[in-house]
Amino acid sequence: MENQEKQHKRRVRYSGTHPKSYKEKYKEHNPEKYADTIERVIQKGGTPAGMHISICVKEILDFLQIKPGMTGLDATLGYGGHTKVMLQCLEGQGHIYALDVDPIESAKTKERLEKQGFGEDVLTVRLQNFADIDLVTKDTGKKFDFVLADLGVSSMQIDNPDRGFSYKVDGPLDLRMNPLKGTSAAERLKEVTQEELVGMLIENADEPYAEEIAATVMKWFKKGKEIETTRQMKEVIEEALVYVPKAEREEAVKKSCARTFQALRIDVNSEFEVLYSFLEKLPDVLAPNARVAILTFHSGEDRLVKRSFKQLQDAGIYREICKNVIRPSAEECARNSRAKSTKMRWAIRA
């Protein structure tokens, strides 16, 4: 009998206990299976890749006072952390409608919550922008007893380089909440004039080097150089800030990158227009004495929310609004560094 030698198959090389690639962080993508790993990351003040740590949970629940039988709205589903704790308050009686424009993450969240026992009898997930909250009450005929809107970008989006929300890992300069619709940030840069880009950077992010960054973007385009990736956008900013003293430059570039990406994201997703529409329609979807909590993450958003609440209180539509902004505790900020810029405001319908 002829002996057949078995073909040796080389095993896949293990890349180490601290893989650098997002896609290699397999443990962090499966939190239920690797709870100890997840907890270690969180204890160090980090957010595990592919996850999102909900902010101001206690403050939100203390204010909303959710009781069984109520109908509520989570205007920004995301990873579903806030939705889950609000569903637990309902104790299986009542219903929450949850909105999200991200078809990728909302499908994952819906499946995750279903596996945890929150099916369609208590939770309805709609792929919809929260600017269109009026369509929910139009379709269901129900007004809400409580509403939550968390205006932050989910960590799953920030951490995934394919989405282009962060300059820390190279990826396409996209920044769309729904990558299947609209114009990417890379395409948007090609459309705007230098003056418009300066305005975008100042209005959306208070960028002190707006003039220099906009001029460098235009210089790149005139030379035929592409700005298609997050790394290229960072290189533009590094070039724009080359005159900053060397000792200060690294930190200045880091902060300008964060602000520039924020400004582009707000523009690409029309975030201020969406928020304005949401705030305008909000009173009409609320039941009498309904409670609303909104989390904001930069001054432009907070100003819009504060102004809307004050105007509507003066008009007698809200019977009470928060006098002072609520911030996460020092302990929460230490545990979750992404909580540091959070502001919470609330209002109660008349």
Could you write out the DSSP letters of every residue in 57-83?
A: HHHHHHHH---TT-EEEES--TTSHHH
Give the pLDDT score at 20.
45
**What pLDDT does residue 121 have?**
95
Concatenated DSSP letters of 111-175: HHHHHTT--TTTEEEEE--GGGHHHHHHHH---EEEEEEE-SPPHHHHH-GGGT--SSS--BS--
CATH architecture for residues 57-156+272-349: 3-Layer(aba) Sandwich (3.40)
3 state SS of 105:
helix
Specify the amino acid at residue 191. Answer: E
CATH assignment of 178-268, among 1.10.3470, 2.60.40, 1.10.287, 1.10.150: 1.10.150
Residue at 287: amino acid letter: A
| C-alpha R_g of the chain | 23
Q: Distance (Å, rounded) from C-alpha 197 to C-alpha 191?
A: 10
Instruction: Report the DSSP beta bridge partners of residue 146.
Output: 72, 291
Q: Measure the CA–CA gap between 248 and 256, rounded to whole angstroms.
A: 12
Q: How far is CA 297 from CA 47, 69, 259, 281, in A?
A: 17, 31, 12, 21
Residue 61's alpha-carbon distances to 31, 329, 341, in angstroms, are 24, 15, 20
Total residues belonging to the chain: 350
Q: What is the DSSP string of 7-39?
A: PP-PPPPP--SS--SGGG-TTTT-TTT-HHHHH
Sign, CA dihedral 28-31-33-36, equals positive
Strand 286-296: give its sheet, edge to edge.
Answer: 123-127, 95-100, 71-74, 144-150, 286-296, 343-349, 318-321
User: Is residue 66 within 8 Å of 141, Cβ to Cβ?
Assistant: no
Is 185 in contact with 268 (CB distance < 8 Å)? yes
The model's pTM is 0.78
How far apart (Å, rounded) are the C-alpha atoms in residues 83 and 148? 9
Averages of pLDDT over each 10 residues, the chain, 350 residues: 48 41 45 54 47 81 96 91 94 95 85 93 94 94 95 63 69 85 92 95 94 97 94 96 95 94 91 94 97 92 95 97 91 80 94
Q: Which of 124, 95, 145, 147 is nearest to 305 (CA)?
A: 147
Closest alpha carbon to 157 in 175, 184, 182, 173 = 175
Residue 329 gets which letter from DSSP? -
For the chain, the domains span: 57-156+272-349, 178-268
